[in-house]
Structure 1
Amino acid sequence: MLFANRRLRFRLNTQVLVFALVLVSIPWLSYRFVAESRVFMIEGQTQAQEQLARGIVTLFQGRDDLLAELPYLDSQQVVFSHPLTGQAKVDGYTNEWLDFQLFANHFGSGDDSEDGYSLLLGEKDDRIFGLVRIQDDKTVLRTKGAPNLDASDHLRLTMPDRNGNERRLVIVATQAGVMEVWYVKEDWATPQYRSPSSSFIIQAVMRPLVDGYLVEFALPKYFLNQRQEFGLAVADVDGEDGSMRHLKTLVGADTTIESHFNLLAMRAPEANKILSSLSRSDSQVVIYDNNLQVRASVGQVSPAKSEKVKPEDFLEGIQSWLNRGLDWFIAIPDYLNPVQAASQERDLLNRALDKKFASGRWHKGPAEQIFAVAAPIVDQEGELLGVVLIKQSTAQILGLQRQAMENIALLSLSTMLAILLVLLLFSWRQAMRIRRLGREAQQIVDPDGRLRTDQLYNEIRAGDEIGDLARSFSSVVARLHEHQEFMSTMPRTLRHEVNNPLNATMTSLENLQMLGVEEGQQRYIDSAQRGLVKISGIVEKLADAANLEAALHEDELEPLDLLHLLQTYVHHQNPSIRGGAADVVFEADQQSVLVAGVDYRIEQLLDKLLDNARDFRASGSLVKVRLYQQDYDCYLEVENTGPSIPPDLMAGMFNSMVSARAAGAGHAHFGLGLYIVRLISQFHGGSVTAHNLRQPEGVMFRVKLPILLV
């Protein structure tokens, strides 16, 4: 039963909180949608990768000539040469190279963008042509007859011959135009022969440029071995003493030209088109021969990662924090290390060597998944020519997912903040309206429980539910006020209506008595007259109590010497002047106490207090009236010995219709005396309280009134 009475109370703020929790679930649902979309996109990417593998197999199927054109890559860097058409001359001009400018290979030795060179290679009539554009802010030419060849700017060529011996060449210029080509020893400074190579075998021309110089050379193709390996480096000498500033190689600053050779591969037009069409930003296509030697590799699996920059402002900091949170959602655990990934690739390739289509997937990192497809390449007779391996990353899909998640998160966050702000403002406004309506409802009732007004003024013009509530409550207040007005006029109406039959009855009894009655009937007439007097007194008391508050509003407060008033009042109350004993004692320690009041209302207050004290005092005891002043207030006390006030009556004894007298005793009492005392006290700006006394037992009523400051 106790549990049934304890009902849950969902306040307005609780409802807003529940609604906010519902809003929080929206981003989670959006994330689930994006996650499912990622799975769908990955499956689509897998199918597209398989179709691409089948297409590549179809392109190379039966085309052993195309596979033969592809070089052996191994771990070396390939520099492709281009077929030159028309007349090829070594003259330092680029007319025959115009169609291949976009395919130039750019090399350098460091972070300095102004310190590098570009290389273009071409083939025509069993000769290899090269065009090198060097960036150099200071070109140092060789002094003719100088013993060392490395004291000036020069090019270094190294080419292993078919017997495995290395051939070292230095191309150096003494002036713009034709350059000298020297066979040198291992130190690259000492000539191997006394004179340079014949220009009929190796040709080289230098032409100065604004930001450096250009070198065009040609040499026989038989200088290269079967793998067509060669090495090229550009020596930049800036010091007057012949000190070298940089040695720019084709393979990087940490690799010497003697320890690493580049592969020269002829790029045929058809193979060029096929390879260029296979290039993708997020996938890698690797072509193997039937011995699993790499013949071509296009594209890269993972795009280059951008460097992380430190957030510069508050918004970028929020974006970085959001990215870390999204990484936690999107991250894929249990990824393979490079050795395990290589083992996976080897397994796919071995299955492809058995002329089977193989596919697999693994996680390269916490936020990247690799798809791999291996397909065999066969000829017309079904013999295995090679294997195509396609590896593709989900980095692009994950990037799109990250972007979508960022947009969803930012949009959801901003939307939720806006909605929550609106809800908070709405709930705050509604709560303020309800509180304002509650305060007004509390203020329309005075401490006595009576209505002060007949309507409400707040929210009665509002068109929502709160306005309906205010209007309904205002209508109830109006009806209650009307009933209160009716009840306040009821005593006066009753006095008028009751007095008429009472007067008629009294007159009839008097006339009956004058006509004469028997001796035994006189006592009945006397009893009837006493009853009528009581009824008349009751009606008068009810009317006086009802009219008192209205009468108080018509009275005007005036300066009044309360001490003189009490002395005069107590003097007239004592019956000693008529030969009786005095029953009221007055005590005061002041010369004069001025208050703002109405004298006859103070006397009316004293009448009620003395009547109450006389009714409840012990037989033969005195009633004490005391007056004293403290600070800015004066206190009027009426004290009597006798029974104490019951505790259950103490709280409401100053309300109307509350009485401690026994029913049927002597006169009729309706509990209006102390109620009138409270009204008169409040009218004078004071208050009244009751206190039980212990030694001796008794009751004291204390009236506090503010003194008048002159």
Structure 2
Amino acid sequence: MITKFIAEKFKSNLSRLRPAIGLRSKITLIACMLLTLPWIGYNYILEMEKLLRQGQEQTLIGTSRAVATALNERPNLFSDQASFLQSVQKGRDLYAYELSSPIKLDGQTNDWADYTEQMVHYGRDYVQFSRWPYQHNGIQFNHMVGKYDGYLYAIFEVNDDKPVMRRKGSSRVDRNDHLIIALTAPNGEFHRYVVSVYEDGWFNAWQINGDIADPADLVLESQIQGYWRTTDNGYNIELRLPLSMLGSKLGFAFYDVNNTGNREIETIIGTSNTNQIIKLGTVLIPSPEIENILKGMGHTSTRIWVIDRHQRVLAQSGDIQESNGVWSSSVKYGNKNSSWWTVLEEKWLHPLYYRYLINEPTEFSDSLKDAAKVEGVHISQALQGRGYSHWRQSSDGKAMILAAAYPIWLGDNVMGAVVAEESTIGIQTLRNRALEELLNALFAIILVGTLTLFLFASNISRRIRKLRNEAEHAIDTQGKIQHTIAASTNSDEIGDLSRSLAGMVSRLGQYNHYLENLSSRLSHELRTPVAVVRSSIENLSMQEQDEDSKRYIERAQEGVQRLNTILSSMTEATRIEQSLQGAEKELFPLNELVEGCMQGYQMAYANQIFRVDRCSEPVMINGAPDYLAQLLDKLISNAVDFSRDDHPIEVTLSQIDSQAFLTVSNHGPLLPENMNDQLLNSMVSVRTQSQQNKPHLGLGLFIARLITDYHQGKILLRNRTDKQGVEVCVTLPVATLEGISKN
């Protein structure tokens, strides 16, 4: 039972300690809704970025349309041969790549290291003649051409296991390994040249004006220069020729000689047939005329490509690193100062933004993979006659690039397309600056708003908590008015509530004072009429009466005695409450008091069985023994009234830590629901009509509570755990040997 009591007490204390969400916490949570403002603003900026991108698309399509318009209906800007072909053949139709630097003619491939992907391999498919079946280890070569500063450069990496040079002093150029160059001049004339050397080193080509076998038909061409270098696998050839010599057709062919005895040609392999102009392949050189048109239009903020119908670049203008659109320069921001807000932004806010909310533009590179074959859905659409824009990633995948293409018309035919490209760095920079300003403003609003709401909630919470404390202290656990509530002078709702509660407590205090004095007043006022009635009945009983009169007189005396008992009970609680205020405490063992009282109860209630369980060690209490004995009297009397005669009343006294527990348990009827605490109040009783054999106003447990409160203890009524009766548990603080109570 003691354990049960401790568990219930612990649960009660735990429920009080359970955290509750206060007004400040609720308003703080409501203030957290302000955090949705950055999210809304962030999405608004993203929508604005989408609109800016759409505007950039329209602007870029307009740029490509304007450039295409300047190139429409101008056939002289396109090659008379390649641009009018239905298709071009890789390896046969050559493309002169734009070189970033001049080539040093030394027979080494170091200068061509950046263009290895553009080199074409010539093997079995490009063999034009072979005396014997072509073997996999036969002659083959890698080759490409490029353009720089008015010259056409060519590189040949030839794999030949038996290179054969010209014999010393020989005037023949065709009895050894040699290179044939065939081209058309700008005026359309067909020319052939031969490169044949005695040894490694610098060379000039010979123009063939007739039969290559006749030295008289060979004329030295000093403008075609190069270098021949023997390697472990064969030999390398680097050469150059002025672009002014070159028209729209170009071809190279290697004549391979392996037998140094008969020196007969065994294999001919090349880009195209160099003997007839009709079989000669084409060459496309980026057009300087188109580049001049692009530069003249001043489109330096956009990278522009002009491609032919075969997706080969004819001209290029602009740098993608600078092609970030007009957005970055269209909005001007004020110069930053050295104020505390600027320092806060740069040191704390911006690193936070760019770490979690904003993506900062990063450096990127975007190089054209192959200028001889520019691909993309926008290009394919433009070559079909429709303008189109397309978002793509840069070649390193670090940035997004907007590309727009528009067709170039010649009559009803699409001769090429203009491709304009811009990065999104301008829009991204504009978006980031807008986000910075927006987030700064929103976080300032959130901070000020949250602080204001928190202070407002703290003020309201403080006033409500003060009002709650006053209300709790105004009325004690028994419902008595202890203090009044100070009415607030504020004009808001809390002030009105405070004034209402103050008036209500004042009226309750007056009413409670009236009720507290009612019993003493009634007792005082009724004692005189009762005394008159008693004396009159006593005088009447002294006279001779018949049997009926005597019976009535006896009943009247019993009623007067009963009424006198009621009056005594009404004043008993008041007397005890007043006497407790002047009672003196002393240190005594409670177990001896319980043992002595229980011996008397056994004689007083002979028909009732008592079972006592007390501590062997003394339980020292600092209190009034007489009143504690009266407390035990009330508990035993109450238990006897409700107990069954065939079951004992159990009285237990124990000590746990600094608390003494006195429990009185009996078998009998259970307590009604929700009546446990009410039975400790004055004038409350649950006795049935059959138990009303004597006056009983329900003051016994009320007096027991008064005595317990005087000793700073607790009293608890509850049904037994076995549901067979009721038990009353009184908890009192144990005193030390010095007489100081431990709470």
List per-residue Cα deviations over 1:601-642 (Å, max 9, x = no partner). 2132133123323433556998776656666555545566x6
Q: Determine the C-alpha separation between the residues in 2 that align with 1:272 and 1:339.
A: 22
Q: Determine the C-alpha separation between the residues in 2 that align with 1:552 and 1:561.
A: 20
Q: Determine the C-alpha separation between the residues in 2 that align with 1:257 and 1:692.
A: 113
Cα–Cα, structure 1 residues 644 and 426, in superposed 2: closer, same or farther, change >3 Å?
A: farther
Does residue 597 in structure 1 map to residue 623 in structure 2? Answer: yes
Does residue 46 in structure 1 map to residue 61 in structure 2? Answer: yes
In structure 2, the partner of 1:669 is 696
- Secondary structure, counterpart of 1:648 in structure 2: coil
Q: Aligned match of 1:707 in 721, 734, 738?
A: 734
List per-residue Cα deviations over 1:270-300 (Å, max 9, x = no partner). 9997553235342426498xx9999962415
Q: Aligned match of 1:370 in 403, 408, 431?
A: 403
List per-residue Cα deviations over 1:625-676 (Å, max 9, x = no partner). 6656666555545566x63434637734643144231248244433231132
In structure 1, the partner of 2:243 is 263
In structure 2, the partner of 1:643 is 668
Q: Aligned match of 1:187 in 193, 196, 200?
A: 200
**Conserved? CA contact 1:370–1:391, under 8 Å:** yes
TM-score (norm 2): 0.51
Q: Determine the C-alpha separation between the residues in 1 that align with 2:313 and 2:665.
A: 123
Q: Determine the C-alpha separation between the residues in 2 that align with 1:391 and 1:551.
A: 109
RMSD: 6.5
In structure 2, the partner of 1:147 is none
Q: Structure 1 stretches of 5 or more lacking a match?
A: 1-9, 80-103, 113-118, 123-127, 129-157, 169-182, 194-221, 236-242, 245-253, 307-313, 327-335, 349-358, 379-383
Cα–Cα, structure 1 residues 688 and 558, in superposed 2: closer, same or farther, change >3 Å?
A: same
- Secondary structure, counterpart of 2:201 in structure 1: coil
Does residue 390 in structure 1 map to residue 418 in structure 2? Answer: yes
**Conserved? CA contact 1:608–1:677, under 8 Å:** yes
In structure 1, the partner of 2:212 is none
In structure 1, the partner of 2:266 is none
List per-residue Cα deviations over 1:188-245 (Å, max 9, x = no partner). 358999xxxxxxxxxxxxxxxxxxxxxxxxxxxx9999xxx86689x9xxxxxxx99x
In structure 1, the partner of 2:514 is 490
| 1:361 shift after superposition | 1.2
| 1:75 shift after superposition | 3.3
In structure 1, the partner of 2:333 is none
Q: Determine the C-alpha separation between the residues in 2 that align with 1:637 and 1:295.
A: 105
**Conserved? CA contact 1:159–1:166, under 8 Å:** yes
| 1:338 shift after superposition | 1.4
Q: Determine the C-alpha separation between the residues in 2 that align with 1:629 and 1:270.
A: 112
Q: Determine the C-alpha separation between the residues in 1 that align with 2:642 and 2:290.
A: 128
| 1:38 shift after superposition | 2.1
**Conserved? CA contact 2:303–2:420, under 8 Å:** yes
Matching residue's letter, 1:276: K
Matching residue's letter, 1:402: Q
Counting aligned pairs with the same residue, the percent is 18
Does residue 31 in structure 1 map to residue 40 in structure 2? Answer: no
Q: Determine the C-alpha separation between the residues in 2 that align with 1:637 and 1:261.
A: 121
Structure 2 matches for 1:151-550, cutoff 5 A? 164=191, 187-188=200-201, 257-258=238-239, 261=241, 263=243, 274=293, 276-278=295-297, 279-284=299-304, 286=306, 297-299=315-317, 302-303=320-321, 323=359, 338=375, 343-348=380-385, 359-363=386-390, 365=392, 367-375=400-408, 389-393=417-421, 395-396=422-423, 398-407=424-433, 441=468, 444=473, 448=478, 454-455=484-485, 471=495, 474-475=498-499, 477-499=501-523, 501-506=525-530, 508-509=532-533, 538=566, 541-542=569-570, 544-545=572-573
**Conserved? CA contact 1:625–1:636, under 8 Å:** yes
In structure 2, the partner of 1:153 is none
Does residue 557 in structure 1 map to residue 585 in structure 2? Answer: yes
Structure 2 matches for 1:82-121, cutoff 5 A? none
**Conserved? CA contact 2:69–2:408, under 8 Å:** yes
Q: Determine the C-alpha separation between the residues in 1 that align with 2:497 and 2:313.
A: 92
List per-residue Cα deviations over 1:128-181 (Å, max 9, x = no partner). 9xxxxxxxxxxxxxxxxxxxxxxxxxxxxx99998846699xxxxxxxxxxxxx
- Secondary structure, counterpart of 1:76 in structure 2: strand
- Secondary structure, counterpart of 1:297 in structure 2: strand
Instruction: Number of aligned residue pairs: give it.
Output: 524
Matching residue's letter, 1:485: G
Cα–Cα, structure 1 residues 541 and 654, in superposed 2: closer, same or farther, change >3 Å?
A: same
Q: Determine the C-alpha separation between the residues in 2 that align with 1:386 and 1:593.
A: 114
In structure 1, the partner of 2:264 is none
**Conserved? CA contact 1:685–1:706, under 8 Å:** yes
TM-score (norm 1): 0.53
Cα–Cα, structure 1 residues 341 and 286, in superposed 2: closer, same or farther, change >3 Å?
A: same
Matching residue's letter, 1:31: L
Q: Structure 2 stretches of 5 or more lacking a match?
A: 1-24, 84-92, 105-109, 114-146, 152-180, 207-218, 247-287, 325-349, 363-372, 394-399, 738-743
Cα–Cα, structure 1 residues 184 and 337, in superposed 2: closer, same or farther, change >3 Å?
A: closer
Greater RCO, 1 or 2 (C-alpha within 8 Å, sep 6+)? 2
- Secondary structure, counterpart of 2:420 in structure 1: strand
**Conserved? CA contact 1:559–1:594, under 8 Å:** yes
Cα–Cα, structure 1 residues 593 and 55, in superposed 2: closer, same or farther, change >3 Å?
A: closer
**Conserved? CA contact 1:623–1:639, under 8 Å:** yes
Q: Determine the C-alpha separation between the residues in 1 that align with 2:436 and 2:43.
A: 13
- Secondary structure, counterpart of 2:243 in structure 1: strand
